[in-house]
Structure formats: structure tokens, C-alpha cells
Amino acid sequence: MNILEPLYYDCIQCMRGCEKKDTVKEIKMALAEISEHYRSNDHYFIFKSIILRNLYGVDIMAEATEIAKLRLFLKMVSVVDVNLKADNLGLDPLPDIDFNIRCGNTLVGYANEAELLKASQSGFFSQEKYEEEIKVEMEKTDRAYKKFRKIQLSQDNENKALFKEAKDNLTGTLAKLNDELNHYLYEQTGDHRLGYDRWLKSHQPFHWLTEFYQIIQGNGGFDVIIGNPPYVEYNRKNKATGKSVADIYRLKDYVTFDCGNLYAYVVERSCNLSSGRDKIGFIVPLSLASNNNMGLLRDFLSASGNAWYSHFEVRPAKLFEGAEQRLTIFLLRNSSTTKVYSTPILRWHNEDRELLFKTISYSPSFYNGTIWRTSSILECAIYSKFILHKLTSSYLCEDGSGLQYRTAGVRYWIIFLNQGFGTQSLSNKCAFFEDDAHALFFMAAFNSNLFWWYYALNFDMFNLKDYMIFGYRLNYKEDDRIKTLASELEEDLHNNKVEQIINSKTRGVVVTSYFQKKQSKPIIDEIDKVLAEHYGFTEEELDFIINYDIKYRMGSELNGDEE
């Protein structure tokens, strides 16, 4: 609403500037609508028009829809010019937006005509029935909606009898149509063990095609779709209820189904509700850009056009206070090209929050299974050299010389050791290489600043999975300097470690090692200098890697954040 308001206002001023000229019929009608049918000021008219003509929303929680409607009403009332002598204080009746802001399940129901026709091909109803009955009923419902909205945009909305008749007509025709489609959907996809009534209550189907027929069918979809979908794993059990979303309602026919998270399904459905998959923006977890389980969603989006990704850390400050969630905001524009633009992982202090979005800058990036968070031409040059090397997974063996690492506790430092941590942990893991030379070589490489750059540009800054580690690229080459530095680093890490005693609820008293890896930064920098020769980095590129993230990795405010 805040974005559309000045656009409306400027258009109205431009039309008024043309008033004395030979203006087209539509402009005259629009100006007449403003001057004749609204007692309140221009801003009230603009807000009312935006609410009825432009804004639509769906949420599975009835409370959320009521709060949204209340916020819109308060926005309108805030600009009223109160006239104590006039009826109703000079205020036009507030609009009824029950048919704009709806309660229902975004993910269950017929989104468009193609999905409904698919049901007919499954034998639940014939093509003839669709054309002669269902489509006719949808068009009838659409006419009822247009009539209802027209009454609200005119003085007739003060005629209570006419208003009630129009709303009752719309409610009745829509309820009848939805009931018919609900039965089709139940027969097509429902769990018949539940029975229809229980299925209807648990699934809360919402048929976008019927609820917003003029937009979906007439306009080809919504022009702009924005959202902050639920970050909920489809099959994960809720600790309080013991049930997962999959236990409550079933989903089918989603390309992104194996992603296993509701936010992936909401993004996919939104693309299918959009007019050409154009102008879509969502706030989602950082895992969208990188983690393996979101690969299908990345493939889906990469085929849709140009995309812009901005990424946000949780330290020192969070995008949403109280939500410990690293986030990505993506913007999608339909295009014949499929270019990717990205920011680095953004970190900021609370006092700089006002500047955060004003200073965002995108850089050309790469989609290579993951969306690389490159931020400059320099980083793109580093990427082009890095990507030429082999995956380190190709050097792994079933048995041989070991490399130990921990998959938990990722902050700004990740520890890899040849001789081990010396303490037990459920997150301790081991990988094997052909011999000691290989194990030392890759131990040094995985502890390097370059590995942190690779990890920070690709993954969720929280998990450390094997595919993340061994997706790193580096050709093995016998190098005594690397082996010497690896041994020095391991010794230095152990010299600077501190043992901690933890009282675990499940394992009792546990002794673990806290490695102050930043104390070993000089040795790590020497490793990067040698690796730079292997990759063919320039002095400028090497300097960038050595100092990458240094403000946060070495800053005093991060004491205690390492493993």
C-alpha cells in the first residue's frame, strides 16, 4: 500500500492537469469517480481503491487474516478529515474486504485452469461438464464479485439492502462452487480413510481459480507476489503435538516435493499463480541458495528468468529480532535469459539497520548447483580459477590416512585435524585419503581462509555436511611446504585449545575441546600463500582471500564464537 499510494497520487494529479483538455473517456470517468462518489480526501480514496483493486492475501490462520484487515482499515482511518457536523463524521463506509483477504490453505486446492483440467483427465468429471457447468459457474461468481466491488466503489455502498443482497449473492455462488470443487479434490487426492468432513477441516482447501477468477483466468495470474512463507519441514514431528504437517494434510504434484519444506512449496505455487512468473519476491531461509535438499527449488527458479539474491547473517544483528534464522530475500523477474545476481552474506550492527537495505549492492554471480554469493568482479575472477579444479571428494578412500572434523558448531572457524580432537563428541567424523601426504595436504586446505570463503559463499553458515566439505575444489599436488604447515598448524591448534566441562542432560559430564583457531591465523595465512600458487591467484586475489571476513572472524566482539 505504501508503494502504490504515491503512484495513485501522481496519476490523479496528472489526470487533473489534463482536465481542461480533450481528455479520453476513461480519464473523465476516473475523475468523476473521485469527485462525485467520495466524501473523504484523496488519500482516503486512494487507500480504499488500493485495498479493493490491488491487494489480495491468503493465510491458513483466520487470526492472521483478521489482523491484516484491521491494519488496512487503520491505515485508511488515519488519513480521514473528521467533520463533526457531517453524518458518520464525514467518513465513507469502510470497505468489506472479506473477498480480498481470505483464510485457507495456500497449498491445497486448484490454483489455475490447468490443474482443474488435469482432474477432468483423471476421470472425475468430463471436459464437457467443465465447459458447460463448472466454467459457467466460475464466470457467474466472477460477475457477482465485480458487482459487489462496484457497489463498494460507489455511493450505492450506503444502500444497506443493496449491499447485503450483493454480498449474499456472491457468498452463495462462491460457496456452491467451492463445495463442488472440494468434492472433486477429495475424490482425486484425498485420504478417504478420514471421511470428507474430516478431510475438509484438516486440509482447508483454497481454490485460487475460483476465489480470484478474474485475476487467475482473466489476467493470467497476479502481477506481483510477495511473502514470508512458513519455514516448516513437511515430515518433521512437532514436539508439542507429536504430529507433522504431513500428518495433518497431504500434498501432491509439487515439483519441489522432495525439498521437504513448506517454503519451497509456497514459492512453487506462487510462480504458478503469477502472470508469467514475473515480479516475485520472498523472504526464505539461507538454505535456498545452497543446501542439497533445496536443489529442486533452485532448479525450478533458475529456469524462470533473472534472479537477485540478498543474504543475511544472524550475527552481530538479525533481520528479525528474536528469530535465529539466516535468511535470503530473492527477487524473480521473468526473462528469456537466466542471469543470477547476488550479495555476499551481509552482516551489520543494530545501529546500522537503517542503512542496511539502502546500501545493498548486487554483483553478477553463478548458479553451479548452488548460488554463489559473489560480491565483486574480483570474486568472480577467483571463482573462475577455483572451479577449474577437481572435487576433493574424488580423492577420498574407503580406508587410509584419516582427517577428522566436526559437523556441529560452525560459526566463523571450522577445525580439521589429522591426529584428532582428543575428546569425544557426537559430531566428530573422519574421512580417509590415500596416504599421509594427501591427508596433510587436504587438512591444510580445509583449514585455509580460502575454504572459509568457499563455505561462506555457498552454504547456510550453520551446517557442515560432507557434501559441503568435499565439494571444495583443489587438485592434489605434492608440496612439502603444505605438509610442513599442516603439521605446524595442528600443533598450534592443540597448544591454544582449552578444555571445557559440559553437563549434558543426555550424556552427563562431558569434557570437550575449545579450539581458539584465530590464534593460528598467521600459519593459516601462510597456507593460503602456497595455495595461491596452485590456483594461479594474483597478489590482489590472495590479499582478498586472506582478509575475507576478517572484521568478524578476528573482531573482539566474537570472543567465544569459535569452535
For 50-55, the CB contacts below 8 A with 24+ separation are: 50/1, 50/4, 50/5, 50/8, 51/1, 51/76, 51/95, 51/97, 51/100, 52/95, 52/97, 52/100, 52/149, 52/152, 52/153, 53/149, 54/4, 55/1, 55/97, 55/100, 55/101
Residue 179: what pLDDT? 93
C-alpha cell at 64: 492472521
Enumerate the H helices of 190-280 as residue ranges: 196-203, 208-211, 213, 245-248, 262-273
Amino acid at 395: Y
- pLDDT tens, residue by residue, 467-521: 999 999 999 999 999 999 999 999 999 999 887 777 777 767 777 777 889 999 9
Q: Cβ(152)–Cβ(167) under 8 Å?
A: no
H or E stretch at 166: helix 160-189
H or E stretch at 446: helix 436-446
SS3 494: helix
Residue 20: what pLDDT? 65
Q: Cβ(448)–Cβ(524) under 8 Å?
A: yes
425 has pLDDT over 80: no
Residue 188: what pLDDT? 84
557 has pLDDT over 70: no
Mean pLDDT, range 250-275, rounded to an integer:
94
Identify the burial level of 423 via C-beta atoms within 10 angstroms of its C-beta, where 0-12 means exposed, 13-18 middle and 19 or more buried: middle
How far apart CA 182 and CA 246 sit, in angstroms, is 19
Q: Cβ(19)–Cβ(31) under 8 Å?
A: yes
Q: Cβ(182)–Cβ(108) under 8 Å?
A: no
Angstrom distances, CA of residue 537 to CA of 493, 525, 532: 27, 14, 5
Phi, psi for residue 103 in degrees, rounded to 5: -105, 130
Q: What is the separation, in whole angstroms, between the first and last Cα of the chain?
A: 46
- pLDDT tens, residue by residue, 18-68: 766 666 788 888 887 777 655 668 888 899 889 999 999 999 999 999 999
Look over the chain and give the mean of its residue pLDDT values, rounded to a whole number: 89
560 has pLDDT over 60: no
Mean pLDDT, range 302-315, rounded to an integer:
89
194 has pLDDT over 90: no
Q: Which residues have C-beta within 8 Å of that of residue 354, sequence separation ≥ 6?
A: none
SS3 385: helix
Mean pLDDT, range 429-443, rounded to an integer:
96
How far apart CA 249 and CA 404 sit, in angstroms, is 42
| Residue 558 confidence class, pLDDT cut points 50, 70, 90 | very low
- pLDDT tens, residue by residue, 222-246: 999 999 999 999 999 999 999 999 9
How far apart CA 496 and CA 66 sit, in angstroms, is 57
439 has pLDDT over 50: yes
How far apart CA 158 and CA 168 sit, in angstroms, is 16
563 has pLDDT over 50: no
Beta bridge pairs of residue 508: 504
CA angle 111, 113, 119 (to 5 degrees): 90
293 has pLDDT over 90: yes
562 has pLDDT over 50: no
401 has pLDDT over 90: yes
Q: Which residues have C-beta within 8 Å of that of residue 18, sequence separation ≥ 6?
A: 27
Residue 225: what pLDDT? 95
How far apart CA 213 and CA 149 sit, in angstroms, is 14
Residue 57: what pLDDT? 95
How many whole angstroms from its chain centre is CA 527? Answer: 37
More confident residue, 312 or 191: 312
